[in-house]
Structure formats: C-alpha cells, structure tokens
Amino acid sequence: MKKIRVISCIATVGIMALIFCFSSQNSDDSSDVSRGFLMFIINLIPGMAGLDAGAKLELVYSMHGTIRKIAHFSIYTALGISSAAAVWSIWGMPVKRSILISVPFCAMYSLTDEFHQSFVSGRSGELRDMMIDTSGALFGGVLLILFVSMFVRMKHKKEVNK
C-alpha cells in the first residue's frame, strides 16, 4: 500500500503541474499544441497519412474543438484516478468512498484552473470546461473502483482455488 501511496501522490501532483503548464499557454500556443497533436494522430492512421496537406489541415481545423474537450476529459480522468488512489491509500478508507473526496478536490482544482486561465492572454475560464473536467475526474474514480474491485475478486478467487 505504501508504493500505491507514493506513486499516486506523485502522479497527482505531476498531473496538476501539467494541467497548470497547459493552462499557462496563451491561446496561440495552446492551439498549436492541440493542432500538432491532431496532425500527429492523423499521420498515424492508415489511409490518412496519404492525404494532401490541405485535406489534413481541414480535418485538423474541423476537429480542433472536439480534441480540446477530449483533452480536458482525459487529463482529469487521470487526475481522478491518481487522486482517488491517493485518498484511498493515505486514509485507508474503502475505495468507493475515496471518490467522495477526490472528485470534489478535482472539481475545485478545475475551478482554480479555469480562474487561472482567465488571466492568460487569449484564454478564458469556462464553466463548460469545468463540468467536462469534473466528469472526467468522476469517470477516473469509477475506473479505479472497477479496477480495484476486479483485482480483489481475482485475488479472492485465486486464494479460494488454492
């Protein structure tokens, strides 16, 4: 349990720092990162790599908003998993209860993150993003519960079969 505690705490702080760094980028830099990531993904997909540059750019611009919302959800899913694991391992409470602390914690961090963005050039704080972030954190907490439950069942089944 000590390893889980250390890893989950380091992961939580690391993810929070990564979110802060992404939120510190001005709108142009942030958009460039998103578009660059999308172009990378497009080039990995068989059949898409052969598209001409104009078609790829059109695809990138049409998917830009969607990929940004998926990024919000995904990074907060990771934060939800790591923070729920940290709460679970630090306080020793049932993993199902850990999300009662970790999800509000992630929601508050999202709120402060959106507030932070309102001071960055070309960026704004949006309630919609906070809702997406919180949904991602809840999803991450549920994933952790499912993973731990599955692990416990497998371990119990293994012990019974001995």
Q: Residue 85 above 80 pLDDT?
A: yes
Residue 56's pLDDT band (boundaries 50, 70, 90)?
confident
Are residues 107 and 79 in contact, defined by beta-carbon separation less than 8 angstroms? no
Name the residue type at position 85: A
Q: What is the dihedral of CA 12, 17, 23, 24, to 10 degrees?
A: 170
Rounded distance between C-alpha atoms, residue 126 and residue 105, angstroms? 18
Answer yes or no: is pLDDT of 162 > 70.
no
Among 31-40, 41-50, 80-89, 105-114, name the one with the lowest average pLDDT: 41-50
The model's pTM = 0.87
For residue 51, report the phi and psi dihedrals to the nearest 5 degrees: -65, 150
Half-sphere exposure of 74 (CA within 13 A, CB side): 7
- Average confidence (pLDDT) over 102-127: 94
| pLDDT computed for residue 159 by the predictor | 73
CA dihedral 110, 115, 119, 124 (to 10 degrees): 80
pLDDT tens for each residue of 57-70: 898 889 888 999 99
What is the percent of the chain where pLDDT is above 90?
A: 58
What is the arithmetic mean of pLDDT over 76-84? 97
Structure tokens, 76: 């907060």
How far is it, in rounded angstroms, from Cα 98 to Cα 21?
27
Residue 72 pLDDT > 90, yes or no? yes
Please tell me which residue, 110 or 47, carries the higher pLDDT value: 110
Q: What is the pLDDT of residues 7-20, one digit of tens each?
A: 999 999 999 999 99
> Could you tell me the residue ranges of all domains in the chain?
2-160
